[in-house]
Amino acid sequence: MADLEAHMDKTDAQSILVIDDSADIHHLIDARLKSEGVPIHHAHDAYSGLQAMREFRPDLVLLDIDMPGRDGLALCREIKDDPTLSSIVIIFLTGNLDVETKVKAFDSGATDYVTKPFDAVELRARVRSGLRTKRYLDMLASQSQIDGLTGLWNRSRFDAVLEEEHALWLRGGRSFALAMLDIDHFKLLNDTYGHPFGDEVLRRVADTIKVGLRQSETAFRYGGEEFGVVFRGLDLDSAVRAAERLRLSIAGLPLAMGSKSVSMTASLGVASVDLPGVSGVNDLVACADKALYDAKRAGRNRVGRSAGR
Amino acid sequence: MNRLLSLFADDPDMTELVRGFVARMPARIEEMRAAAADPNGEELLRRLAHQLKGSAGGYGFPTITDAAGKVEDALKRGQREEALTDLDVLLGLCRQASAPAASSDG
């Protein structure tokens, strides 16, 4: 469960972003939250606030409601409508609110508010409570994205990670590659030796993939007997070599039904984001799938290499 | 002149911060005076009062927060004359704001 642990490590290191047009408020919040030991980022308007959110991925935003230009309520709605930002906990910084504005604030997706001028003890308590909520949200999110049988990330996480990597790549980030892996003749294994044996095969393959993963690689159960591995920072050649190692380690797995040893192999298809005709995540998956299909047709237990679309 | 001492004068965590806030006060006073004198400066004045309302209390000057709130409130209601009277009170308090002396002075 290296992935999950890495994910938990990330949630352990939480951070805060303050968006307020008044420099005095930034100084105050820094001083008053220093004891919490949480890194604090700063932005002075809605626009730079959004940029900072994309860059620093804060867990909690202290957001001024009344700012020149786009105000806090509008910004909060925008954050909550953006799937990559919507889990961020928003606490409004505000003057005294009438009931109508309070309702608007919560309806826009805020978790809480602190009235200015704020009391230091109250601010710390509300921030702590907001960060605690975020930690629970992160845990729930990661649990709902884990495949129960194998402990790998599931399909929904697969889609999300590929979209994130692709967005990063479009902004000039690192290249990445994708391998799709399918267990050969899985249906036959299942039908011959029974479903509990089939489940055992899936777990063993998942464990084998996990053991070989590097820090920059993430494995997923895509569905059924199909798995996906994302190789960050690898070009097509390197990813094909990594897939070949994976194929060998799976073909060498000692499997037995009673005293009878059972042989099992897997086929893989590899594609990289910089291939011709790959303009989105769907293209990338289609290319890897096509390469996997070619590997199957060429006799299975081999790695197919995509040439793009 | 009466001195208005921060409520956090004895809080070592806040000393530097309050000093900075007080040191910026003359510039802030000048900004508000200029905004009040400018026929198109009403929105700026409202904003400056609003910011001061939100921050002064946090630096240990709740009376400044209250006075700034009155200026903002009068401007929101379109009562310019009233706002300017309230502004005089606010600026008076701002001039009196003082920080604890630096420890090296004593």
pLDDT tens track for A83-141: 889 999 999 999 877 889 889 999 999 999 999 988 999 999 999 999 999 999 888 88
Q: What crossing angle do the helices spanning B25-37 and B42-56 adopt, rounded to 10°?
A: 150
Q: What is the pLDDT of residue B11?
A: 86
pTM score: 0.68
Tell me whether A276 touches chain B (CB under 8 Å): no
**Looking at CA atoms only, how far is residue B85 from chain A in angstroms?**
22
pLDDT at A8 over 80: no
Q: What's chain B's length in residues?
A: 106
CA contacts within 13 A on the Cβ side of B66: 6
Element counts in chain B: helices (H) and strands (E): 5, 2
Q: Which residues in B lie closer than 8 A to residue A32 (C-beta atoms)?
A: 58
Q: Which residues in B lie closer than 8 A to residue A24 (C-beta atoms)?
A: 21, 24, 51, 54-55, 58-59
Tell me whether A288 touches chain B (CB under 8 Å): no
pLDDT at A1 over 90: no
Chain A interface mutation, best of B51, B61, B63, B64, highest count of A Cβ atoms under 10 Å: B51
Q: What is the pLDDT of residues B19-77, one digit of tens each?
A: 999 999 999 999 999 999 999 999 999 999 999 999 999 999 999 999 999 999 999 99
Tell me whether A22 touches chain B (CB under 8 Å): yes
Closest CA to B44 of B53, B55, B35: B35
pLDDT at A257 over 90: no
Q: Which residues in A lie closer than 8 A to residue B14 (C-beta atoms)?
A: 31
Answer whether A117 sits within 8 Å of B13, measured CB to CB.
no
Q: Which residues, 6 or more positions from A228, have their beta carbon under 8 angstroms from its beta carbon? A: A158, A178, A179, A180, A181, A219, A220, A222, A288
Answer whether A95 sits within 8 Å of B62, measured CB to CB.
no
Mean pLDDT across B6-25: 90
Asked if A225 is an active-site residue, the reply is: yes
Relative to beta strand A266-272, strand A176-183 is antiparallel
The total of other beta-carbon atoms located within 10 Å of residue A94's CB is 22
CA-nearest residue of chain A to B16? A31
Residue B10 confidence class, pLDDT cut points 50, 70, 90: confident
Q: What is the pLDDT of residue B103?
A: 53
Mean pLDDT across A280-303: 97
Token pair for residue B82? 């009233």
Name which of A237-241, A249-253, B87-91 the model is least confident about. Answer: A249-253
CA-nearest residue of chain B to A27? B17
Q: What is the pLDDT of residue B9?
A: 84
- A173 and A55 in contact (C-beta within 8 Å)? no
Q: What is the DSSP letter of A153?
A: B
Q: What is the pLDDT of residue B96?
A: 95
**Looking at CA atoms only, how far is residue A22 from chain B in angstroms?**
6
What one-letter code names the amino acid at B39? P
Q: What is the pLDDT of residue B104?
A: 46
Mean pLDDT across A37-49: 95
- Cα separation, B57 vs B7, in Å, equals 9
Mean pLDDT across A5-34: 81
Token pair for residue B32? 């508000």
Q: What is the pLDDT of residue A96?
A: 75
Token pair for residue A71? 């105000």
Q: What is the pLDDT of residue B55?
A: 93
Q: What is the pLDDT of residue A254?
A: 87
